Amino acid sequence: MKAPKWLRSAVGLPGTISFSAMEPTVANALSFQPELDALSSQELLDRAQAFSGTRADALALAVAAARRTLGVDPFREQVRAAAAMLAGFAVEMDTGEGKTLAGALAAAAHVLAGHSVHVVSVNDYLARRDAEWMRPLYAALGICVSAVEESSTSEERREAYLADVTYVSVSEVGYDVLRDRFCVHDAERVAPRMDVAIVDEADAVMIDEALVPLVLAGSAHTTEDDPAQAAAFVRALTEGTDYVVDGDAATVSFTDDALDALESELGGVNLYAAENIPLLTGLNLALHAKVLMHSDVDYVIEDGELRLVNTSRGRIADGQRWPDGLHAAVEAKEGLPASGSGIILDTLTVQDLLMRYDSLIGMSGTMLAVAEELIEFYEVECGRVERRLPQARVDEPDLVLDSEEEVSAAVAAEVERRHAIGQPVLVGTQSIAQSENIAQELAARGLELRVLNAKNDETEADTVARAGERNAVTISTQISGRGTDILLGGAAAVDHDAVAAVGGLAVIQVGLYPSRRLDAQLRGRSGRQGDPGVAMRICSIHDELIETTATRTIRDQIASPRSVSPKRRGQIVATAQDISEAVRADAHRATWGYNRAITRQRDTVLAERKRLLASDAHLWEQMGSVGAGLDPTDSVVTDAVREIAVLSLDDAWCEHLLMLQSVRDGIHLRALGGQNPLDEFHRLALAEFEGFFTHAYGEAIRLIVRAGVVDIDAALAAARQRRPSATWTYMVSDNPLGDAASRAADALRSMWSDRRRRR
C-alpha cells in the first residue's frame, strides 16, 4: 500500500518536494505587473536588455511580455512552475494547465539571467509550433528564438543554435551532437550550446526515450547474402512445425527439422560451417522479420518505402532504420527493393546527451511517477504544481473482459451510446492496426470519425484539437496524449457549454499500456481546466501485456477466464503493469550501466581528437617518423596529415564500437558461469581499448607511407574514400543482456509468485 502523501513528504521521499518556498518569488513577480503594464513596448524592451535583477524581476518581465503580446494573463500556478524551474526543479503540471507557457516564462527568465536555453521536445511538430507560438513573448524582451527540425539544413541548424532560445526535439539535438563529432573543420559543425535544457514531456524524453540510443550510421559496401532469397525460403514455414516462438513473443528459432530441410534445399550445405554463417544469419533475420515484425505495428509501407514506427511515440520515425540486416530482411519480406546497409559510426544515449547540459530541468503531466529515476539517473528533483481548478473528470472502473473480440464490441457499443447524446469521444489504442480495426467497426455502424495514427500524423494537431467538438469521434494511437490541448466545443470552444452539458470529452482506452503514466496521459486529455469529462479503460484478460508478463498462477487463471472474479481481474491488470514498469526501470539501469564504459572511452577519444585539431605539435608528436620525410612548417601538408590522422581515429572508433557490440551481444552467457555480465563487459571493454591510439595512428602512418614511399595526396584520398558518403539514423532498443526484457520479466514473475505464496 502506498504511504499517504503527508507521510511521504515528511520523510522526504522523491517527488514530495513542496514548491511553497517559491511563493515569495511568485508574489514579487506578480506585484510588479501594474508598474510594467504602464511601460511602453520600447521601455519594456529597454528594461529587459539592461536587466541585472533577481529571479523575481526576470519572471516579472516574462509575465509582462506574455500579458502584452499573447493576450493571456499567466495563472499563479504557471508562474510558480516557472519559478520552480528557475530554481532547478522538474515540475509536474496536469494536462491543460499551461506547461508550454510556464516553460517559456522560465526560458525567458534564464536568458535574462545570461544563459542560452534549449527547450527540448519529443518531436519536430511541437518544437516548431511552440517556437512560433511563444515568439512574440520573446521578441518583446529582445530574446531571439528559433526551431530546429529534421528538414533543417546544416546552415539553418548552425544559425538556430546561435539563438537565445532554441526549440528542438531530443533526437535532432542528439544527432547534431553525433554529426559534429565527425567534423574535421570547425566551419562544418552546427555546434549546439549545452547550457540550459528545459525538457518538455520530461518523463517521456528522460525516462522512456532513455532506452532507445541515438545511433548514427554511415553508408558501407557489403557482401551480404541476398535477403530476398532468404525471405523466399522462410515464407511458407509454419509455427510449431518449422519454428517456435518463445513465451514472450520476443524471439523465434528454427526447429531442427526445418534446419535439416533448409540445408537439403540449399544443396546439402552445413549451415553451421564457418563459411555459411552469413547465410544462416540471413535466414534467421528473414524468420525474425516474417514472424515478429508486424506491418502497421512496427512499420508501415508508404509510397513503396518501409517506414518505421516509433512505438514509444506512436508515430513515424523519419529517416530511421533498423540495424544488423533486419531492415533489409523486412524489406525483402514485403517485396520492396533493398535500400542499402551501413556501419555504425557512433552512438549516444539520451541520458548521456541530457547530462551534457550545465543545467537540466523539465516539465510533464506525469512526472512524479518517475521521481526516483530522475534522481537516480539525472540528479534532478521534482515536485507538483496543483491544478488551478478542482478535477471534475470522472474516472470509471476498468472493464476487463474475456476476449479481444468482446473488447472491440464493448468499445463500439460505448462509443455509439455516447455519440447518440452528442458527447465527443476519444478512443486511445495500442497500435496502428488496432486503431484501424476499431475505426472499421465503428464506420460499419454508420459513425463518422477521424483516425489519428502514425500514417497520417501530418494532420495530428488539427485532428486532436477538434476531438472536443460535439458529436466528434476520434480514434488515436498513443500520440494523442502529447502536446496538443483539447478544448470542449472544438479549437475555438464555440460549443463549450453544450459539450459540457452532455458530460464533456469521454476518453476510452482500449487495452493496457505498459506504464500507468501512459494511462494517465490519455486520461488527462479529458477534464482540462475544471471541465467535466469521463475516462474509462476497456481491456481483455488476454491482453498482450498480461500474457507477456503473466506468472504461472495468472496463466492458469486466464486459461479459464470466466472463473476469474472482477476483483481478481483488477489485480491481474495491476500486476501486469507492475512487472512491465519494473522491467523498463531495470532495462534503463542496464542501459546506463553498460554505456558507462563506452562513454568513458568515447570521451577519451574525443579529447584526443580535439587535441589533434588544436595543436600542430601534438599532431606531429603522434605521427612520429612520418614527419622526418615532410616539412612540418608547410601548412598544406600539416592540414592534410591532420585530416588523415583524424579520419583514422574515427575509423578506429567505429571498429571498436563494432567489437563492443559483438561482446555485448553474448555477454549475458557469462551469467551461466557465475560471472557478473556487467562487470565482465567493463573488463573486456577496458582490455580491448588497450593500445587503441597506437593502432589508430599506426593505420594513419601506413596510409601515408606505402612501400617506403610518402604520398600525402594518395593517403588523403584513401582516408576520405573510407568516409561514408551519407549518414542516417538507426532505431534500436538497447538490449544489453540479449533478450533483457524477457529475462527480467521471468525473474519478476518468480518474485510475484513468491510474494503471492507468502500471503
3-state secondary structure (DSSP) of residue 266? coil
285 close to 326: Cβ distance less than 8 angstroms:
yes
Question: What nine digits make up the cell of 745?
Answer: 520479466
Report the pLDDT averaged over residues 459-484. 78
User: Of 137, 158, 153, 24, nearest to 72 (Cα)?
Assistant: 137
> Which band of pLDDT confidence, cut at 50, 70 and 90, is reported for residue 708?
confident
Bigger pLDDT: 305 or 627?
305
Helix, strand, or coil (residue 133): helix
Q: Is the pLDDT of residue 121 over 80?
A: yes
Query: Residue 281: what pLDDT?
Result: 83
Which of 588, 738, 596, 594 is closest to 205 using CA atoms? 588
Question: Where does the pLDDT of residue 605 fall: very low under 50, low under 70, confident under 90, or very high at 90 and above?
Answer: very high
Phi first, then psi: what are they for 362, rounded to 5°? -170, 180
Structural element, H or E, at residue 274: none
Mean pLDDT of 706-722: 85
Does this model's pTM top 0.75?
yes
Between 551 and 482, whose confidence is greater?
A: 551
pLDDT digits (tens, 9 = 90+) for 229-239: 899 999 999 99
Q: Domains in the chain and their CATH numbers?
A: 19-217+350-384 (3.40.50.300), 227-340 (3.90.1440.10), 392-540 (3.40.50.300), 589-742 (1.10.3060.10)
Among the listed residues 695, 691, 697, the one whose alpha carbon sits nearest the alpha carbon of residue 627:
697
Q: What is the mean pLDDT of residues 649-655?
A: 93
Instruction: Give residue 740's pLDDT band: very low, low, confident or very high (50, 70, 90).
Output: very low
Quick check: 732 pLDDT over 80? Answer: no
Least Cα distance to 148 among 170, 178, 116 occurs for 170
Q: What is the mean pLDDT of residues 181-200?
A: 94
Query: What local confidence, expressed as pLDDT, does residue 746 receive?
Result: 42
Three-class HEC string of 637-653 = HHHHHHHHHHHHHHHHH
pLDDT at 342 over 80: no
**Neighbour order of strands in the sheet with 145-148:** 145-148, 165-169, 117-121, 196-200, 359-364, 90-92, 382-384
**Is it the case that residue 439 has pLDDT exceeding 60?**
yes
Q: What confidence tier does 625 reach under pLDDT thresholds 50, 70, 90?
A: low
Answer whether residue 254 shows pLDDT above 70.
yes
Q: Indicate the DSSP class of residue 672.
A: G
How much is the pLDDT for 117? 98
What's the 3-state SS for 73-110? Answer: CCCHHHHHHHHHHHCCCEEECCCCCCHHHHHHHHHHHH
Mean pLDDT of the chain: 87
Q: Chain centroid to CA 572: how far?
A: 28
Kindly indicate the confidence band of residue 17, based on its pLDDT and cuts at 50, 70 and 90: confident
Banded pLDDT at 477 (limits 50, 70, 90)? confident
Lowest mean pLDDT among 127-141, 460-474, 639-653, 713-727: 713-727
Grid cell listed for 384? 507538483
Closest CA to 710 of 613, 619, 615, 631: 631
How far apart are the C-alpha atoms of 348 and 175, rounded to whole Å? 8
Q: Among 340-344, 426-430, 704-708, 710-714, which stretch is predicted with the lowest mean pLDDT? A: 340-344
Q: What are the tens digits of pLDDT across the range 351-405? A: 999 999 999 999 999 999 999 999 999 999 999 999 999 999 999 999 999 999 9
Who contacts 598 (Cβ-Cβ below 8 Å, separation ≥6)?
Answer: 347, 657, 660, 685
pLDDT for 4 equals: 58
pLDDT reading at 496 higher than 90: yes
Q: Highest mean pLDDT: which of 248-252, 581-585, 603-607, 716-720? A: 603-607
State the pLDDT confidence band at 754, using cuts at 50, 70 and 90.
very low
Candidates 545, 549, 568; CA nearest to 557 is: 568
